[in-house]
Amino acid sequence: MSATQTQPIIKAREQRFNALQRTLVLIKPDAVQRGLVGQIISRFEARGLSLVGVKLMQLDAQLAGKLYEPHFGRPFYDGLVSYMTSGPIVAMCLEGVDTITVARKMMGATKPAEAEPGTIRGDFAQRVDFNIVHGSDSPESAARELPIFFSQEEMVNHDPSYTYFL
């Protein structure tokens, strides 16, 4: 190879997509009612996570129960299901690098009093039972939760240019 020739730095599409991870994020009913949808989505967009699925939904008790099945039987479970069905939510599938960890960090601690300023809960929420966003907490949770909200066809395939360098 001559000195002027370089190795291609752009990896094959399949290889690049293997570096990406998808997660479920929900904007809960109180945040929709308070008009925070745009601000919350903007934060994830600004961080570089791609919106690959989005829908406005009214959950019923069955769907909310499916999402929070791991919490069934906890003292706050019934209240949580009533809260999640009290009005429309926005469901999103976000994609990026280490998306699950990044989205959870951006959301802040479950209890808003413990959430750092600069996080979504730390900036917009006061109560644990009205903590305005949900995010899958592990790859296993994302794999369980995403199909509750999105079929494969409802999630698009992006090819943002930053993935060329992954």
Binding of residue 119 to ligand DAT (CB under 6 A): no
Active site residue 134: yes
Q: Give the pair of three-digit tokens for residue 95.
A: 């994609």
Closest distance of CB 104 from ligand DAT, Å: 8
Stretch 2-31: interaction string toward ligand DAT, x if CB under 6 A: ------------------------------
The CA distance from 104 to 154, in Å, is 23
Taking CB under 6 A as the criterion, the residue among 11, 63, 101, 137 binding ligand DAT is: 137
**Number of residues that this document lists for the chain:** 166
DSSP-derived letter for residue 119 is B
Binding of residue 110 to ligand DAT (CB under 6 A): yes
> Dihedral of the CA atoms 80, 89, 46, 122 (nearest 10)?
-30
Taking CB under 6 A as the criterion, the residue among 114, 116, 129, 159 binding ligand DAT is: 129
Q: Which stretch binds ligand DAT (CB under 6 A): 39-47, 56-64, 130-138, 157-165?
A: 130-138
Looking up tokens 């939510």 gives: 89
Q: Which of 31, 102, 134, 145 is catalytic?
A: 134
Q: Which stretch binds ligand DAT (CB under 6 A): 40-48, 56-64, 129-137, 158-166?
A: 129-137
The CA distance from 39 to 166, in Å, is 28
In this structure, are residues 22 and 94 in contact, taking their beta carbons and an 8 Å threshold? yes
Interaction site with Mg ion (CB under 5 A): 137
Restricted to residues 69-98, the positions that interact with ligand DAT (CB under 6 A) are 71, 76, 80
Measured in degrees and rounded to the nearest 5, phi and psi for residue 157 equal -100, 115
The CA distance from 45 to 85, in Å, is 26
Give the residues lining the site for ligand DAT (CB under 6 A). Answer: 71, 76, 80, 110, 128-129, 131, 134, 137
